[in-house]
Amino acid sequence: MPGVSSILLELAGAAGRLGGQAADILKCRLELMALELREDKIRIVQVLILAFLGTALLLLGLLLLVAAGIYALPADWRLFGLVLAALATLAGGWAALCALRRRLGARPGVFAQSMAELEKDRQCF
């Protein structure tokens, strides 16, 4: 019987060590997820600030440029100038939104690294 109890003690010790290692791995993965969340939050705020500021300034500059261009046209051509300016700004806005969609879609999803690491851990166990 002493052999059985020592085997059980060794098994319990091994299970404890394995549980400790699993807890350490989980802690590392959670820290990685928290770091990625902070980085993504900072990136999102930066992108939003730059997008709003850039949009506002571009719209103001475009408005002034179009107004000056239409004012410079002869009176008979002003309506044609307005239509042309409207079409050009609509095309530019559409192109900008398509570029933004492409840029946002090109980046991997949130917690992509954490999910890859958790998948590696799952395959190891």
| Distance of alpha carbon 64 from alpha carbon 71, whole angstroms | 10
Alpha-carbon gap, residue 35 to 47, rounded angstroms? 18
In a domain, 25, yes or no: no
Report residues of the chain scoring pLDDT below 70. 1-3, 107-112, 114, 122, 124-125
Domain count across the chain? 1
What is the per-residue pLDDT for 53? 94
Rg (CA), the chain: 30
Instruction: Specify if 14 maps to a domain.
Output: no
Range of the domain at 113: 35-124
pTM strictly above 0.85 = no
Q: Residue 111 burial (CB < 10 Å; 0-12/13-18/19+)? A: middle
Q: What would the pLDDT profile of 63-95 be if each residue is shown by its tens digit? A: 898 889 889 999 999 989 888 888 988 898 899
Neighbours of 47 (CB within 10 A): 13
Distance in angstroms between the alpha carbons of the first and the last residue of the chain: 32
